[in-house]
Amino acid sequence: MIFGRSERGKPPVEPVTLKILVAGGFGVGKTTLVGAVSEIRPLRTEELLTEAGRPIDDISGVEGKHTTTVAMDFGRITLREDLVLYLFGTPGQDRFWFLWDELATGALGAVVLADTRRLEDCFAAVDYFERRSIPFVVGVNCFEDTARYPAEAVRQALDLDPGVPVVLCDARDRESVKEVLIRVVQHAMAHAAAAREAVTT
């Protein structure tokens, strides 16, 4: 860049910034997903799990988990020169759900991350976004040593509308996460276009 202009004489591109939420149950991989794809050092608000939280935090199926998000995770990824996503990971436990309304303000869409070992843990997130008409994609985090299920089987188990995309992913893998985020943006844009068309007809 030279004096605010590109070397080819074109004005600099002012990117569109979009807010995406990453939600789901406790221990499903939200912090991992944000960290895997963020181009900046992600902001994390993790605390160690303690004996005091044992009656509240159900770690069955994720016994190796030692920390939990208590406010949010934050990261950023540039998908194109003119498109930047700000990622906000929500806390998974019921006692932190009061934060969701603040985090959801201004969100274009959301990823509901699911673990097929604890699929019921993402019901609350699905319900939250459905009730608020926030477009979302279900990302099935394929953990090692767990059974793999087709996307359609997950759709049926969650009783999702046919238009909600279900994507198998690996929350540790940058390219896999990018594909999920691209699907969220595409789905949210299609949702917005359909809403505009409904208003004009």
Per-residue pLDDT of the chain (201 residues; tens, 9 = 90+): 443 444 566 677 789 999 999 999 888 999 999 999 999 998 866 555 445 444 555 555 555 545 554 458 999 999 999 999 999 998 866 656 678 888 899 999 999 999 999 999 999 999 999 999 999 999 999 998 888 999 999 999 999 999 999 999 999 999 999 999 999 999 999 999 998 888 887
Residue 146's pLDDT is what?
86
Q: Which residue ranges make up each domain of the chain?
A: 16-200
Nearest to 141 by CA among 149, 132, 129: 149
CA angle, corner 22, sides to 57 and 156, nearest 5? 85
Contact 110, 136 (CB under 8 A): yes
Contact 155, 164 (CB under 8 A): yes
Residue 97's pLDDT is what?
66
Place of tokens 């991992």: 32
Indicate whether this model's pTM tops 0.85: no
Sign of CA dihedral 124, 141, 72, 18: negative
CATH fold for the domain made of 16-200: Rossmann fold (3.40.50)
CA distance 136 to 166: 9
Length of the chain: 201
What does residue 184 show for φ and ψ, rounded to 5 degrees? -60, -50
CA distance 168 to 74: 22
